[in-house]
Amino acid sequence: MDLNDKLEQRLRAAAGELAAPEFDTGAFAERATREGAADVAYAVVDSPLGDLLVAQTPRGLARIAYLDFTTTDRVLNDMAARLSPRMLEAPGRLDEARRELDDYFAGRRRDFELAIDWTLVGPFGRRVLGHTARIPYGSTSSYGEIARAIGSPRAARATGNALGANPIPIVVPCHRVLRSGGALGGYTGGLHRKELLLAIERGERQLEPERR
């Protein structure tokens, strides 16, 4: 080995010794959230109903989106405009939400214990969804019954629109609201998902998540 080869070998060894350590994205996310650098933490969560984008603020869960009905970029842009542009992908911050969702899909959980951030819901929608959140597990109501319960008996259509705009499906159980007579009505995640959620609550289905 000549002098040039020895020099090149030493330079390569020195470069290896000085290489920067691998970036710890999890630790960065935790620090950013803890120090207030991020107002919204989000993660893409796999579920038996498809990929969900789940987001929370320090106040609580703010968003669950079915990603085959929208896109990640569209949801993030909406949250940036309406919640805060200071967002961070931080799966560790959504661990409790993920666990409760998994338990629900598997039929092990009847009630969610997650705090809710209602910022994305307007005053009328807050009344509608606040009442909807109190429909017991395994029970159903109708659009007209919800409208009457919130003191707006002629607002069944507006009630349906508010339910369709629910930013936190599953946890705020708009799937428990049907048309008068028992027809399914609508559901932002598709009627097949509404049927599956109701089947879980009737004890007819259990859906374990498929981990990738």
CB burial string 125-153: b at 16+ within 10 A, e below? bebbbebbbebeeeebbbbbbbbebbeee
Active site residue 23: no
Residue with the larger pLDDT of the pair 211 and 66: 66
Q: What is the pTM of this model?
A: 0.80
For 123-164, the pLDDT digits (tens) are 999 999 999 999 999 999 999 999 999 999 999 999 999 999
Which of 64, 75, 79, 174 is the catalytic position?
A: 174
pLDDT of residue 29: 46
> Within 13 A of 99's CA, how many CA atoms are on the CB side?
7
Domains of the chain are: 25-105 (3.30.160), 123-201 (1.10.10.10)
Average pLDDT, the chain: 86
pLDDT of residue 82: 97
pLDDT at 64 over 90: yes
pLDDT of residue 19: 46
Confidence of residue 23 (pLDDT cuts 50, 70, 90): very low
pLDDT of residue 13: 56
Residue with the larger pLDDT of the pair 74 and 6: 74
The amino acid at residue 101 is: L
Give the orientation angle of helix 156-164 with respect to helix 123-132, to 10 degrees.
80
